[in-house]
Every structure is written in C-alpha cells, then in structure tokens.
Amino acid sequence: MIIGGGFAGIAAAQALKKSDVEVVLMDRRNHHIFQPLLYQVATAVLAPAEIATPIRQLEAKQKNLSVVLAEVTGINLRLRLVEAIYPGLGVRKLEFDYLIVATGMRPSYFGHDEFAVHAPGLKSLNDAETIRTKILGAFELAESTEDEAERARQMTFVLVGAGPTGVELAASIAQMVSITLRKNFRSIDPARSRIVLVDGGSRILPSFAESLSKKAARRLERLGVEVKTGLKVEKVDEQGVVASGERIDSATVLWTAGVTASPVVKMLGTQMDRAGRALVGPFMDIAEAPNVFVAGDATSFSQDGHPVPGVAQAAVQQGRYVGRLVAKRINGRSDGRPFRYRSKGNMAVVGKNFAILEAGRLRTCGFVTWIVWAVLHVLALPQLQNRYRVQTQWFWSYLTGQRSSRLIAEAPRPIDPGKQKPAP
C-alpha cells in the first residue's frame, strides 16, 4: 500500500514494477503534479494540464499496480489496516503487508490558520488557479474603480516567505505586470504595481549560499520587487498584512512561508518533528512498525548532521530506495545499505534569463544557469506530451512575452428555485 501520488509515491511504485507483489497506490487526487513549475500555473505562464498527469495512466504501464481514488481517514498499524473514504461510496478498509506513506506537505500558518482565508498557499492545482484568479482579478478591479486608494491596494501584491517558491512567484508576477499586461488596460498601468516580498529571516533563499542569495535579491530589485527581510507577519486580513507593526495595504496576499506535513503522518502514531514530519530510521522506516515507511517531504531525515532538503530529487531517491527495499524483504534478501541522499545541486529561477545554482562548491548564476534550469525541468516532466507543451509555451512566451493561460475562474452561480422551469 502506497499513500500519496507525488514524486516519492510514484518512484516507490515504479521500483516495485518487476516484483511479485500487488501494489495499491492511493491518493485523494487523480493526478500527479510537477511541483517545481506550479508557480507558473499561478502566474498564467502554463496551463494546469501542462504540469500534471493522471496517476491512473501508470496502470497501463505497470501490471501489478492498482490506483485508488480515496482519502485516508485512519491507519491501524496493529491490524495492518488503512481506512479511507471513497467518493460517493463511503468508508472502506484495506489490508496491507507493507505501507509506504508519501503524502507530502501542506501550507503552515504557524498557528494562525485564520490567515488562510486571505492568504492562499501554493501546493495544489486548485491553489494555483485560485492565485491566478486573485492576481488577474485584482487588475480588473483596479481598472474599474475610480478610488485611487483602492486602485493602489488592488495593484499591491504581498508574498509572505522568501524561499524558492516566494522568490520564483514574485519574479514571475513582476515580469507579468511589466511585459504581459503592459498594454492591456486603459485606466491603469500594470507596470506601476507594487510587489512586496516579506520574510522574517535575515535574507532571502536561506538554503542557498549567502553570495547567491544576495545576487538573487539584487535581481528581484531590478525587476521591481521590494524585498523586506527581518519582518514578522503579525496579521493578515482582507485589507492586507501587518508585518512588525507596518501595515501594507493589499488585495492579494500570497503565503509562501512555511509548510507542515500531511495529517496522515499523525495517524501513524510515531515521533514527529515540529513541522509534523515523521522521524524515520536509516532505512526510512518508523520505530513502531518495521514494515511501515515514510518517504518524501513527509519525512524528517538527517544525514551527516544536516536535514535532507524537501525537494523533488530527494523525494524521488527516497521513494525509489523504499520500493527496492520492500522488494528485497519480500524476496528474503538483506536490506543492504541505509538510505543516503545524493544531491545533484540546488536551483532557483529568478525571472527570465536568470537562475542560481549551488552544487557542492560550484556556485553560479545568470543566463547560462537559466538555460540549464530550463532544460533540466523540461526533461524531468513526467510525460512526453508535457515536455512538448511546456517547451513550446516557454518558447512562445520568451519571444512574445505573452502567457497562454490568463483565465479568471468563474464562481458557480446559485440557481433561483423560483425561476426554474418544470421538466417536460
């Protein structure tokens, strides 16, 4: 049983492809998302289908795999049961011999869950479409209003959290307002928008070397992004944010700050860190049950005194390792070596023509690094059709500055029962 169809879950399933086992992959969504490009859906560069693929397509390629669309509601380690809600069918219980939990992360508001109403995070396609609607809708409202203060509020965008997601999202919004939308309105100039990136730390991109962090900050400032570090967000409401006593009026506040593990991890009853991630042993298993594993962002694993980062390449390596380990145990072979993460480098893109890369002692940035980032991300997409669509759209956007997915999602309208016509 594998819970979660992200990078780790799919890698684990594929690692069991040639084993004489029955693999059940369960997820509450029917699609796998290529998370590193999710911010481009949020800023209208790409359409949702271009970075997502149906999980069920794996069944056609892997005969021992069954995909289940359901949401886990309970786990009983003693009885080896997973309880889940099937849409339209109610609750069912499934038995397992081996369990792999790879349910990823969700946004964390650090004890202020009320912020979520006004500051959406970015972890799913729904989140990306919500953010895209908020951004594009803000310009429509700014165009329509005659109140200058309200217009300024609509054209102010605040991003809380200056990790890779916050930096990439801020840079993409900056280029949208200065290039894509510049001639689309009569009453407003989108290039005059205010984009504010707020973080409580001393610098942006703390997971990178300080020299690269400074270069990324300078790049953001050239794009027109205000970088404010050392500010703690104290309040988020419909009018904007309050950070270290400073009020920033904004109609669009986006949360790119913290993450916490999926609640499924808590169902295991194992030890967790402050972010709710499972503390696993050297073989990615939990102490309470040797045949229960946690992989990907939902796990807290340290190597050489440093935590393994929550990035896609780490999730894939962990998922593949656990899948192969299960295959060994089923065949009566020894576990072999404990898991060891092999970093291929850390990258972040800061708008068009600029990316940063840190791989061991190598630290580089600029146009060539951006080309490397683009090639690696296209090759890492799950299907050939995704690669073709993304590279085609990127090429068109690079030449014209246009973005193909500028759609404002329409809210469903309630039906007035009094106006309904009787059926013939």
Residues 162 and 208 in one domain: yes
Residue closest to 260 by CA, chosen among 60, 111, 421, 419: 111
In the listed set 299, 330, 361, which residue is the last one of a domain according to the structure? 330
Domains of the chain: total: 2
Residues 222 and 266 in one domain: no
Residues 252 and 129 in one domain: yes
Give domain status of residue 349, yes or no: no
Residue listed under structure tokens 């693999």: 23
Strand ranges, E, within 194-330: 194-199, 225-229, 233-237, 240-243, 246-249, 252-255, 258-261, 278-279, 285-286, 289-294, 299-300, 302-303, 306-307
Residues 89 and 225 in one domain: no
Strand ranges, E, within 295-418: 299-300, 302-303, 306-307, 346-349, 355-359, 362-366
Residues contacting 96, CB < 8 A, separation 6+: 1, 24, 80, 81, 82
Residues 97 and 126 in one domain: no
Residues 247 and 154 in one domain: yes
Give domain status of residue 424, yes or no: no
Residues 99 and 120 in one domain: no
Residue closest to 173 by CA, chosen among 408, 411, 406: 406
Residue 410, pLDDT score: 75
Residues 188 and 121 in one domain: yes
Residue listed under structure tokens 């999980």: 55
Residues 183 and 279 in one domain: no
Give domain status of residue 316, yes or no: yes
pLDDT in single tens digits along all 424 residues of the chain = 999 999 999 999 999 999 999 999 999 999 999 999 999 999 999 999 999 999 999 888 899 999 999 999 999 999 999 999 999 899 999 999 999 999 999 999 988 999 999 999 999 999 999 999 999 999 999 999 999 999 999 999 999 999 999 999 999 999 999 999 988 999 999 999 999 999 999 999 999 999 999 999 999 999 999 999 999 999 999 999 999 999 999 999 999 998 899 999 999 999 999 889 999 999 999 999 989 999 999 999 999 888 898 899 999 999 999 999 999 999 999 988 999 999 989 999 999 999 999 998 999 999 999 999 999 999 999 889 999 999 999 999 999 989 988 888 776 666 665 655 555 5
Q: What is the pLDDT of residues 142-151, one digit of tens each?
A: 999 999 999 9
Tokens representing residue 235 in the block: 């309040």
CA 246 to CA 231: how far, in whole Å? 9
CA distances from 280 to 271, 273, 283, 410, 419 (A): 8, 10, 8, 44, 59
Residues 155 and 86 in one domain: no
**Largest Cα–Cα distance in the chain?**
75
Residues with a catalytic annotation lie at 168
Residue 47, pLDDT score: 94
CA 310 to CA 6: how far, in whole Å? 12
Residues 285 and 205 in one domain: no
CA 148 to CA 238: how far, in whole Å? 18
Give domain status of residue 205, yes or no: yes
User: pTM value?
Assistant: 0.92
The length of the chain in residues reads 424
Give domain status of residue 363, yes or no: no
Give residue 276's domain range.
2-28+70-104+262-330
CATH number at residue 203: 3.50.50.100
Q: Which residues of 259-283 are buried (b: 16+ CB within 10 A; e: fewer)?
A: bbbbebbebbebebeebbbbebeeb
Tokens representing residue 2 in the block: 């594998």
Angle at 112 between CA 408 and CA 9, to 5 degrees: 65
Strand ranges, E, within 20-133: 23-27, 31-33, 52-54, 65-69, 71-76, 81-86, 90-95, 99-101, 105-108
Give domain status of residue 24, yes or no: yes
The H or E element that residue 142 is part of is helix 125-144
Residues contacting 261, CB < 8 A, separation 6+: 103, 104, 105, 106, 272, 275, 276, 277, 278, 297, 298
Answer whether 101's CB lies under 8 Å from 278's CB.
Answer: yes
In the listed set 309, 330, 351, which residue is the last one of a domain according to the structure? 330
Residue 142, pLDDT score: 97
Residue 221 one-letter amino acid: E
Residue 409, pLDDT score: 76
Residue 299, pLDDT score: 95
Residues 117 and 155 in one domain: yes
Residue closest to 58 by CA, chosen among 67, 70, 50: 67
Burial of 89 by CB count in 10 Å (0-12 exposed, 13-18 middle, 19+ buried)?
Answer: exposed
Residue 76, pLDDT score: 96
Residue 202, pLDDT score: 95
In the listed set 330, 362, 387, which residue is the last one of a domain according to the structure? 330
Q: Check residue 105 and give left, alpha or beta (phi > 0: left; psi -120 to 50: alpha).
A: beta
Give domain status of residue 51, yes or no: no
CA end-to-end span of the chain: 49
CA 59 to CA 49: how far, in whole Å? 19
Q: How many CA atoms lie within 13 A of 400 on its CB side?
A: 11
Give domain status of residue 370, yes or no: no
Q: What is the pLDDT of residues 359-417, one digit of tens each?
A: 989 999 999 999 999 999 999 998 899 999 999 999 999 999 899 888 887 766 666 65
Tokens representing residue 416 in the block: 């007035």
